[in-house]
Amino acid sequence: MEYIYSALVLHAAGKQVSEDAVAAILKSAGVEPDAARIKALTASLEGVNIDEAIASAMVASAPAAAAAPAHAAAAAPAKEEPKEEEAVSEEEAAAGLSALFG
């Protein structure tokens, strides 16, 4: 998520979402940047209007949030087992980000 957040920070600041800029933000936050993930992120955002993607995501999530029962928020969350992270190829990462933003 920190990769997407860095792109959103750059966009909010009016800066270009480039590989170097994303890497700089990640480094400043104490995250060791992964060049393949950064490349997949920037490639998937090419030609995407981030403002429109955010607006459409907000509209799509509003009905789901309204449909959730009020008592579900008060229920105690179930304890989850820690999961090992799976390796994701560059193509899978690009496809996932492409689906997310457009």
Q: Which domains does the chain have, with CATH numbers?
A: 1-53+90-102 (1.10.10.1410)
pLDDT band at residue 77 under the 50/70/90 scheme: low
Query: Comparing C-alpha atoms, which of 3, 7, 94, 99 is closest to residue 50?
Result: 7
pTM score: 0.57
Element (H, E) at 93: helix 90-101
Which tokens in the block code for residue 16? Answer: 């270009």
Q: How far apart are the first and last CA of the chain?
A: 17
Which tokens in the block code for residue 41? Answer: 């992120």
Dihedral angle computed from the Cα positions of residues 38, 39, 42 and 46, in that order, rounded to the nearest 10 degrees: -170
CA distance 3 to 25: 9
pLDDT number for residue 24: 96
What are 3-55's pLDDT values in tens digits? 999 999 999 999 999 999 999 999 999 999 999 999 999 999 999 999 998 89
Give the residue with greater pLDDT, 63 vs 31: 31
Which tokens in the block code for residue 48? Answer: 């995407």
Give the residue with greater pLDDT, 67 vs 40: 40
Amino acid at 85: E
